[in-house]
Amino acid sequence: MRGALDFIFPVQCGRCDQLGNGFCASCYAQCELQQISAGGIAVRGLGLYAGTLRRAILNMKDGRRDVAEALACCFSRLVEDGDVLVPVPTTFVRRLQRGFDGAEVLAMCASANRATRVDAEALAGRTVVLVDDVLTTGVTVTDCAATIAAAGGLVKRTVVLAVNP
Ligand SMILES: [Zn+2]
| 71-80, 130-139, 156-165: range with highest mean pLDDT | 156-165
Tell how far the Cα of 49 is from the centroid of ligand 1, in angstroms. 16
Report residue 18's pLDDT band, with 50, 70 and 90 as the boundaries.
confident
CA distances from 80 to 56, 69, 113 (A): 24, 18, 10
Tell how far the Cα of 29 is from the centroid of ligand 1, in angstroms. 9
Residues lying with their CB under 5 A of ligand 1, a single-atom ion: 13, 15-16, 18, 24, 27
What's the average model confidence in pLDDT over 6-20?
77
pLDDT tens-digit series, residues 34-91? 999 998 899 999 999 999 899 998 888 888 888 888 888 888 888 888 888 888 876 6
In the predicted structure, residue 12 carries a pLDDT above the cut 80: yes
Tell how far the Cα of 112 is from the centroid of ligand 1, in angstroms. 24
CA distances from 137 to 11, 22, 49, 126, 162 (A): 32, 27, 12, 25, 12
pTM for the full predicted model: 0.80
Domains, the chain, with CATH or none: 2-163 (3.40.50)
Instruction: Check residues 155 and 14 and name the one with the higher pLDDT.
Output: 155
Tell how far the Cα of 53 is from the centroid of ligand 1, in angstroms. 10
Contacts of 33 (CB under 8 A, 6+ apart): 44, 45, 46, 47
Tell how far the Cα of 13 is from the centroid of ligand 1, in angstroms. 5
Q: Would you state the pLDDT for residue 1? A: 44
Q: Would you state the pLDDT for residue 46? A: 93
In the predicted structure, residue 14 carries a pLDDT above the cut 90: no
Tell how far the Cα of 139 is from the centroid of ligand 1, in angstroms. 31
Q: Would you state the pLDDT for residue 155? A: 93
Tell how far the Cα of 146 is from the centroid of ligand 1, in angstroms. 37
Q: Would you state the pLDDT for residue 91? A: 62
pLDDT tens-digit series, residues 81-119? 888 888 887 665 555 566 666 777 777 777 766 667 766
